[in-house]
Structures are given as C-alpha cells and as structure tokens.
C-alpha cells in the first residue's frame, strides 16, 4: 500500500520542487550558487547503481540528436521570414544539449536512467562539434568570414569544455 502510494507521488516530485522554487524564490535566491553542486549530486546518485555500459551511446541517441537539429532548423527557416531574432533564439533552444539533470530526473520517474545519461553525454559532445559550424550560418550579415567566425566559436567551446577539466 505504502509502496504504491510512494511510486505515484514520486512522479509528481519534479512538479512539486518547481512549484516550491517558484513560490519561495526570494528565500532560496541567495543559495543559487549551490545549484550546480546539487545537480552534480543528483547525477552521481542517479548513476551510482548503474553499470557504465548502460550509458553507452546507442543509435537512438544519434537519431534523437538529428531529429532535434532538424526540428530546430525547420522552425528556424519558417520563422526567419517573419522575425530573424526569434528564429535564431528558437534554433539556439533546440541546439542546447540535454539537461545535465536528465539522468537524475529520469531515475526519479523510474525511467531508463542509462539511456537519459547516455543521451546527455552524446548531445554535449556533438553540440561541441557541431556548434562552431552551425552558428555562423545563422548570421548572414556577419563582418567576419565563415571560417574565422567558426574558429572563434570553436575556441570559446573548447575553453568552456576544457577549463573545468584543468
């Protein structure tokens, strides 16, 4: 009885925490610097009992990534005729990788934690490879040549990816 109730309530935990955050933001705002540490802890505990092979890249990860970029690109081309800034902003939302907490949230909802964690790893890596070539294509009025702009974006991406490792 209690186990069944817990499993039903557990699915509403993310909504509960979002509601608490919205209602108590003035109290919790000074502790915003803790968020990356809390997310890291959630990820750690979500994958603690998972074998590393469960998070291995799968063909479905690549299919989802291509679908993510295709939907973003299609919406960009449709909306760019109306408003270039909104179209670019929407494409940037689709270009963003999966949330780092996706594995933890999937675990909380009794989903396939390995798949979500693997997708997070795959999308972060692929976005780092694809972004330097896609982002310059969005700005047709740039003063810089394509390869110069791609190189500058690649340096920024490399700095963001490598700096935490060093």
Model confidence, pTM:
0.66
The burial class, CB within 10 Å (0-12 / 13-18 / 19+), for 125 is middle
Length of the chain: 166
CA 55 – CA 47 distance, rounded (Å) = 9
Of 70, 66, 165, 60, nearest in space to 116 by CA:
60
- Report domain extents, the chain: 2-162
Indicate if the pLDDT at residue 8 is higher than 80.
Answer: no
Distances in Å between the Cα of 148 and the Cα atoms of 2, 4, 133, 134, 139 are 61, 58, 11, 13, 13
Distances in Å between the Cα of 145 and the Cα atoms of 78, 88, 131, 136, 148 are 25, 19, 16, 9, 5
What whole-number percentage of the chain has pLDDT above 70?
89
pLDDT score for 166: 46
Lowest-pLDDT choice from 71-80, 104-113, 133-142, 157-166 = 157-166
pLDDT tens digits, one per residue of 31-88: 888 877 777 777 777 677 788 888 888 999 999 999 999 999 999 999 989 998 899 8
Confidence category of residue 1, pLDDT binned at 50, 70, 90: low
């Amino acid at each position: 009885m209690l186990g069944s109730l817990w499993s039903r309530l557990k699915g509403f935990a993310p909504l509960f925490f979002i509601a608490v955050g919205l209602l108590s933001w003035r109290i919790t705002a000074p502790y915003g610097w803790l968020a990356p540490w809390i997310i890291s802890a959630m990820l750690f505990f979500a994958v603690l009992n998972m074998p590393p092979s469960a998070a291995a890249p799968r063909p479905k990860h690549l299919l989802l990534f291509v679908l993510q970029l295709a939907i973003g690109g299609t919406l960009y081309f449709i909306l760019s005729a109306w408003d270039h800034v909104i179209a670019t902003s929407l494409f940037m939302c689709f270009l963003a990788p999966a949330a780092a907490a996706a594995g933890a949230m999937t675990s909380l909802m009794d989903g396939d934690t390995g798949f979500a964690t693997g997708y997070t790893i795959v999308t972060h890596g692929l976005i780092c490879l694809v972004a330097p070539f896609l982002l310059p294509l969005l700005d047709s009025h740039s003063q810089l040549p394509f390869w110069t702009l791609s190189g500058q974006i690649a340096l920024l991406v490399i700095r963001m990816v490598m700096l935490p490792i060093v």
